[in-house]
Structure 1
């Protein structure tokens, strides 16, 4: 495993460790330096949020609080360290579960949809 993964082991759970019935919302974050792309989905597939999310604690808290109104929230990030550290820290401070979806898993998922362009929205 890479250094970042070793540092985060025990702090961020693997995304495959939970059942979908444990959560009311799955929030995928494609993290970026100044802005993230966030997609929140209910277990039945309804899209509850889809859009840019500034990398600021108040904006992160506001979205987490809004989505938590639909039930327990699972925040899934593609990078838990460096540029993803603030969303991870804020989610955990708000009492939400956090999972890390490794880049290799993301690439394999993308392979299921050939011909579609890579975008931040799709990554989230």
Structure 2
């Protein structure tokens, strides 16, 4: 089974998740409320696509805390891509303007291609932005 990468653009009240396959094909794109039940459903939907996804977030602290807690409670692999890295990488993707869906796509695709992203683990200090 191929691996997948789920990039999440973190927002205060809603997040946007895009899941990509090994070739960069989009498997899922969805906006979800920052709500435990919705985040658990997102996790279930991504796990239905692949039982060992890599999750990538652009914010490792407060606004992402609930999502990260849900992922950690299910032993998920989570990596961190700084917001500035997302902004720089966005220039290399087609399309105009900044949207949550586009940012989530960039986050997922960067996690798919890069091997230098910092993993997040329970109890870690917040990484520098």
The normalised TM-score by structure 2 is: 0.72
Cα distance, 1:33 vs structure 2: 1.1
Cα distance, 1:92 vs structure 2: 0.9
Counterpart of 1:98 in structure 2 is: 78
Counterpart of 2:108 in structure 1 is: none
Q: 1:45 to 1:113 in 2, by over 3 A?
A: closer
> SS at the partner of 1:85?
helix
Q: 1:31 to 1:24 in 2, by over 3 A?
A: same
Cα distance, 1:71 vs structure 2: 3.0
Counterpart of 1:59 in structure 2 is: 38
Counterpart of 1:122 in structure 2 is: 102
Do residues 35 (structure 1) and 14 (structure 2) align?
A: yes
* Runs of at least 4 residues off by over 3 Å: none
> SS at the partner of 2:31?
strand
Structure 1, unaligned runs of 5 or more: 1-20
The normalised TM-score by structure 1 is: 0.75
Number of corresponding residues: 103
> SS at the partner of 2:79?
strand
Counterpart of 1:24 in structure 2 is: 3
Counterpart of 1:86 in structure 2 is: 66
1:78-117 deviation per Cα after TM superposition (whole angstroms, max 9, x unaligned): 1010111111111111111111100121121012237621
Structure 2, unaligned runs of 5 or more: 105-129
CA RMSD, 1 decimal? 1.9
